[in-house]
Copies of this chain bind each other. A is one copy, B any other.
Amino acid sequence: MPLFTEQASSWRDLRVFPSFAPPLPRLTTPFNPPEDPIERYEVLIAGAGPAGLMLQLLLSRYGLTDKSLLCIDSKPGTLKSGQADGIQPRTLEVFKTLGISDEIETEACQMWEFAFWNDADDPAKGIARRCVVPEVIPPSRFSYEATIHQGRVERIMESDLSRYSARGVMRNAELVSVRIDDEDAQFPVLAEVKVNGVMRVIRTKYLVGADGAHSVVRKSVGLNLEGQSLDHIWGVVDVVVDTDFPDIRRRCAIHSPAGSVMVIPRERISTGEYITRLYVQVPGVVESETSADADLGKDAKGRRGSVTLEGILKQASDVFQPYYIRPRREDAVDWWAAYQIGQRVCPEFIVKDSSGLGRVFIVGDACHTHSPKAGQGMNVSMMDSYNLAWKLAYRINGLTPSSSEDGAPNPLLDTYHTERHANAQQLIDFDRKFSTGFSDKVGTAESKSGLSHSEFVDLFSSGCGFTSGCGVEYVGNLAVDKSSVVRSHPVAGESEFLWGILQPGRRLLNIKMKRFADGAHRDIHDDLPSTGRFRILSLLSTDLLDPNGVSATALNATASLVRQFPASILEQIIIHPRMRGEVTWENIPACVKEQAEMSFYSGCELDNAYRVYGVDAARGAVVVIRPDGYVGMVGELGDVARVDAFLGRIICPTP
């Protein structure tokens, strides 16, 4: 359209262009390190693998600037030696709330199905398919597990990071040692870092060790991984295969008389071909090891050293009989490795200063290692950071009740260990069972575990809540109030929570709703972007149109509550059930339009929110959702006092 008059405001571009996450409010004074020769930060992150990058990305989005936040990594460029490749549904949900899931959705391999193969009834015939089950059983926004090279995942996070941090990751910077030194009470963590070969001393308020299984941070503060290795050696290879095995594009567990193999289909590569990852059990056993931080390779070194690519491929070929499998060409192998299964966890994830305030944290492989069979590594590591980031940012920005007292213990920070250590322990217990089952001659007389084939499939299926990341449940603590659960019916078993029944400590299941203001169909997870905000989800009751009813009273009380806390820290999501009368802006409390015009939904026209979440529409409920998407508490609609008390323990009211 040809215009003949046009006028743009000077502020237009700033307002329409950005799409940056809004930083958290900061009640403490902006960070200005003292002007002396000592280099100081609020947070130093050691290690830029998935866990470290996720933490840096979140803290940067929450508003920590390059002046306040430093992430170092000893390698010269983006990590290329990573071997993880699985992204679980829950991790995809989180990536989606960060707006960075698209490339993975489009380019990764989507694993929808898991095939189980065993000895054929006639042993001469080799292996036969027993069953195919869905890879992801519990409901999730994503019905598949994605597989893609870890380097791609890191690049995606780093690209997004570049929008928030000019420095990005400082490379060629090796952490040498860490200690807590109370001399400088504000910056009690002292780190020695070798940058391009030159030693620098850095002081920081908080330090996070995301530096992997051989963590310098962990060793420096005197912590150890505790646990044991199992007695099996496995080889793993990424390869473009030539095969007539019909399920090569499904995840497979193959148990044959010749041994076990797990097939992980992988993404398409630049040649247009698709990679396959094979986990191949190496015949024979080595001794189990029980050790603290055992340096693998001391014992049984001979056996391990004898693992070769040719041996792995030969073994795979034997297991796949009567099918053939081989590299498609000479240059078809991208990567291979060998490992001994082990499960280890660090007993403490936090080291405190003399006043009891957590100062050093460890995340990811630095605090737990396990076998790759359940596809957990990269996911659990990033979720450690996802759990820690908002707690750390709240402390630093002075948003927690005890933030104001410098050096006082901070109960919110402590919940990082409470929640993630218990989770790591569960992971390791599951992994031990699952990887034992894998290495075992399942369903045969020789089985050590005694697992039958169907018990092994059951183990996978029941573990799926856990392995998908969707079934994680945090224990009760300051940020998870299990005492006040409101439900429409008593819950018979765990699996009901997987299917969406509200439970403090579990993530809120995604549902689709119709928005009142514009009729848009919207995922509730899109109202939970990873911006560090708490959300109060009100599931209104059927009396909404009664100005003196429970719903109207609750809405007004919640609106007042929101105003008592720092601006923007509490967001509202409001859902109404099917009702007799027509809902209009005029016949509901004005505060809905004022505070939640674009997050007010019908909970009955698309998914039935009340049925999914297990809430009686006649009674309603109020739910507090934490910045990481987990349910903090579920209270009676109108019991704003309880919400206030819960939030008051975590967030300080506006000063």
A151-B17 in contact given A337-B5, A584-B246 (Cβ < 8 Å): yes
Contact of A1 among B7, B246, B372, B585 (CB under 8 A): B372
Give complex CA distance A3, B83 in Å. 10
A370-B1 in contact given A7-B309, A17-B155, A335-B9 (Cβ < 8 Å): yes
A612 at interface by CB-CB < 8 Å: no
A483 at interface by CB-CB < 8 Å: no
Which candidate, A26-34, A104-112, A554-562, is the interface stretch facing chain B? A104-112
A548 at interface by CB-CB < 8 Å: no
Give complex CA distance A14, B144 in Å. 26
A275 at interface by CB-CB < 8 Å: yes
Collect the chain B residues with CB atoms within 8 Å of residue A337's CB: 3, 5-7
Whether A149 pairs with B17 at a CB distance below 8 angstroms is: yes
Whether B149 pairs with A16 at a CB distance below 8 angstroms is: yes
Whether A4 pairs with B518 at a CB distance below 8 angstroms is: no
A81-B112 in contact given A143-B521, A377-B1, A518-B250 (Cβ < 8 Å): no
Whether A338 pairs with B4 at a CB distance below 8 angstroms is: yes
Contact of A112 among B274, B521, B568 (CB under 8 A): B521
Whether B272 pairs with A22 at a CB distance below 8 angstroms is: yes
Whether B152 pairs with A2 at a CB distance below 8 angstroms is: no
Whether A16 pairs with B518 at a CB distance below 8 angstroms is: no
Collect the chain B residues with CB atoms within 8 Å of residue A550's CB: none
Contact of A585 among B246, B305, B338 (CB under 8 A): B246
Whether A152 pairs with B15 at a CB distance below 8 angstroms is: no
Whether A144 pairs with B4 at a CB distance below 8 angstroms is: no
Q: Which of A602-634 contact B (CB under 8 A)?
A: none
Contact bitstring A282-325, B, C-beta under 8 A = 1, else 0:
00000000000000110000001101010000000000000000
A185 at interface by CB-CB < 8 Å: no
Give complex CA distance A13, B272 in Å. 15
Give complex CA distance A305, B246 in Å. 73
Collect the chain B residues with CB atoms within 8 Å of residue A526's CB: 106
A369 at interface by CB-CB < 8 Å: yes
Which candidate, A171-179, A262-270, A641-649, is the interface stretch facing chain B? A262-270
Contact of A2 among B80, B102, B369 (CB under 8 A): B369
Whether B112 pairs with A518 at a CB distance below 8 angstroms is: yes
A158 at interface by CB-CB < 8 Å: no
Contact of A20 among B14, B151, B270 (CB under 8 A): B270
Collect the chain B residues with CB atoms within 8 Å of residue A265's CB: 518
Contact bitstring A484-526, B, C-beta under 8 A = 1, else 0:
0000000000000000000000000000000001111100001
Whether A339 pairs with B12 at a CB distance below 8 angstroms is: no
Collect the chain B residues with CB atoms within 8 Å of residue A6's CB: 81, 83, 335-338
Contact bitstring A516-547, B, C-beta under 8 A = 1, else 0:
01111100001000000000000000000000
Q: Which of A108-129 contact B (CB under 8 A)?
A: 110-113
Whether B339 pairs with A2 at a CB distance below 8 angstroms is: yes
Whether A334 pairs with B213 at a CB distance below 8 angstroms is: no
Among residues of B, the one whose C-beta sits closest to the C-beta of A100 is: B102
A618 CB to closest chain B CB (Å) equals 27
A103 at interface by CB-CB < 8 Å: yes
A237 CB to closest chain B CB (Å) equals 9
A335-B12 in contact given A106-B99, A246-B585, A250-B519 (Cβ < 8 Å): yes
A184 at interface by CB-CB < 8 Å: no
Contact bitstring A235-252, B, C-beta under 8 A = 1, else 0:
000100000101011100
A213 CB to closest chain B CB (Å) equals 5
Collect the chain B residues with CB atoms within 8 Å of residue A9's CB: 331, 333-335
Whether B369 pairs with A1 at a CB distance below 8 angstroms is: yes
Give complex CA distance A99, B274 in Å. 19
Whether B8 pairs with A144 at a CB distance below 8 angstroms is: no
Collect the chain B residues with CB atoms within 8 Å of residue A37's CB: none
A654 at interface by CB-CB < 8 Å: no
Most buried by B among A16, A18, A340, A521: A16
Collect the chain B residues with CB atoms within 8 Å of residue A275's CB: 16
Whether B151 pairs with A18 at a CB distance below 8 angstroms is: no
Give complex CA distance A304, B6 in Å. 12
Give complex CA distance A331, B8 in Å. 11
Collect the chain B residues with CB atoms within 8 Å of residue A3's CB: 83, 337-339
Contact of A271 among B15, B110, B296 (CB under 8 A): B15
A16-B132 in contact given A1-B372, A143-B521, A585-B246 (Cβ < 8 Å): no
A397 at interface by CB-CB < 8 Å: no
Whether A342 pairs with B81 at a CB distance below 8 angstroms is: no
Among residues of B, the one whose C-beta sits closest to the C-beta of A143 is: B521
Give complex CA distance A597, B265 in Å. 13
Give complex CA distance A596, B275 in Å. 16
Whether A111 pairs with B296 at a CB distance below 8 angstroms is: no
Contact of A5 among B155, B307, B519 (CB under 8 A): B307
Q: Which of A332-386 contact B (CB under 8 A)?
A: 333-342, 369-372, 377
Give complex CA distance A132, B19 in Å. 30
A189 CB to closest chain B CB (Å) equals 27
A16-B267 in contact given A7-B336, A110-B520 (Cβ < 8 Å): yes
Collect the chain B residues with CB atoms within 8 Å of residue A371's CB: 1
A615 CB to closest chain B CB (Å) equals 26
If A2-B214, A6-B338, A246-B584 are given as contacts, then 10 extra A-B residue pairs at C-beta distance below 8 Å, sorted by A number, are A1-B371, A3-B339, A8-B80, A12-B335, A15-B270, A16-B152, A17-B152, A249-B597, A249-B598, A250-B518
Which chain A residues have a beta carbon within 8 Å of chain B's beta carbons? 1-9, 11-20, 22, 80-81, 83, 99, 101-103, 106-107, 110-113, 132, 143-144, 149, 151-152, 155, 213-214, 238, 244, 246, 248-250, 265, 267-272, 274-275, 296-297, 304-305, 307, 309, 331, 333-342, 369-372, 377, 517-521, 526, 568, 584-585, 597-598
- Can you identify 14 A-B contacts, CB atoms within 8 angstroms? A2-B342, A3-B339, A4-B296, A5-B337, A9-B333, A11-B331, A14-B270, A15-B334, A16-B269, A19-B107, A101-B102, A113-B519, A249-B517, A272-B568
